[in-house]
Amino acid sequence: MPKNSKVVKRELDDDVTESVKDLLSNEDSADDAFKTSELIVDGQEEKDTDVEEGSEVEDERPAWSSKLQYILAQVGFSVGLGNVWRFPYLCQKNGGGAYLLPYLILLMVIGIPLFFLELSVGQRIRRGSIGVWNYISPKLGGIGFASCVVCYFVALYYNVIIGWSLFYFSQSFQQPLPWDQCPLVKNASHTFVEPECEQSSATTYYWYREALNISSSISESGGLNWKMTICLLAAWVMVCLAMIKGIQSSGKIIYFSSLFPYVVLICFLIRALLLNGSIDGIRHMFTPKLEIMLEPKVWREAATQVFFALGLGFGGVIAFSSYNKRDNNCHFDAVLVSFINFFTSVLATLVVFAVLGFKANVINEKCITQNSQTIMKFLKMGNISQDIIPHHINLSAVTAEDYHLVYDIIQKVKEEEFPALHLNSCKIEEELNKAVQGTGLAFIAFTEAMTHFPASPFWSVMFFLMLVNLGLGSMFGTIEGIVTPIVDTFKVRKEILTVICCLLAFCIGLIFVQRSGNYFVTMFDDYSATLPLLIVVILENIAVCFVYGIDKFMEDLKDMLGFAPSRYYYYMWKYVSPLMLLSLLIASVVNMGLSPPGYNAWIEDKASEEFLSYPTWGLVVCVSLVVFAILPVPVVFIVRRFNLIDDSSGNLASVTYKRGRVLNEPVNLEGDDTSLIHGKISSEMPSPNFGKNIYRKQSGSPTLDTAPNGRYGIGYLMADIMPDMPESDL
Say which residue, 652 or 101, is predicted with more confidence.
101
Q: Which segment, 68-77, 643-652, 688-697, is predicted with the most confidence on average? A: 68-77
**H-type alpha helices, 326-455:** 330-381, 400-413, 418-421, 428-432, 438-440, 446-450
Q: Which domains does the chain have, with CATH numbers?
A: 85-363+435-642 (1.20.1740), 364-433 (no CATH)
Calculate the alpha carbon distances from 199 to 278, 306, 408 in Å: 27, 38, 29
474 is in an annotated binding site: yes
Half-sphere exposure (Cβ direction) of 626: Cα atoms closer than 13 Å? 14
pLDDT of 119 strictly over 90:
yes
For 356, the 3-state DSSP assignment is: helix
Q: Which of the four pLDDT bands, split at 50, 70 and 90, describes residue 246?
A: confident
Is the Cβ–Cβ distance between 395 and 375 less than 8 Å? yes
pLDDT tens digit sequence for 453-476: 888 999 999 999 999 999 998 999
Q: CB neighbours (10 Å) of residue 435? A: 12
- Measured distance CA(114)–CA(337) in Å, rounded: 13
Contacts of 114 (CB under 8 A, 6+ apart): 310, 312, 537, 540, 541, 577
DSSP 207: I
Contacts with 11 (C-beta within 8 Å, 6 or more apart), sequence order: none
The CA-based dihedral angle spanning residues 139, 141, 147, 152, taken in that order and rounded to the nearest 10 degrees: -120
Percent of the chain with pLDDT over 70: 79
Q: Which helix (H) or strand (E) holds 598?
A: strand 598-603
Is 275 annotated among the ligand-binding residues? no
Residue 30 exposed, middle or buried by CB count within 10 Å (0-12, 13-18, 19+): exposed
277 is in an annotated binding site: no
> Residue 639, annotated ligand binder?
no
Distance of CA 41 to the CA centre of its chain: 36
pLDDT digits (tens, 9 = 90+) for 289-340: 777 888 888 888 888 899 889 999 999 999 999 999 888 999 999 999 999 9
C-alpha angle 496-498-503 in degrees, rounded to nearest 5: 95
CA distances from 602 to 109, 441, 521 (A): 40, 16, 14
**CB neighbour list of residue 510: distance below 8 Å, 6 or more residues apart:** 224, 229, 232
pTM of the full predicted structure? 0.77
Task: Tell me whether the omega of the peptide bond preceding residue 176 falls within 30 degrees of 0, making it cis.
Answer: yes
- 643 labelled as ligand-binding? no
**Pairing assessment for the beta strands 717-718 and 695-696 based on DSSP bridges:** parallel
Question: Residue 28 pLDDT more than 50?
Answer: no
pLDDT at 501 over 90: yes
Q: Is 76 annotated as a binding residue?
A: yes
Q: Is the dihedral of CA 702, 705, 711, 715 positive or negative?
A: negative
Report the alpha-carbon distance of residue 323 to residue 660 in Å, rounded. Answer: 18
pLDDT digits (tens, 9 = 90+) for 56-101: 333 467 888 889 999 999 999 999 888 888 898 888 788 777 788 8
Q: What is the pLDDT of residue 723?
A: 40
> Band of the pLDDT at 115, cuts 50, 70, 90?
very high
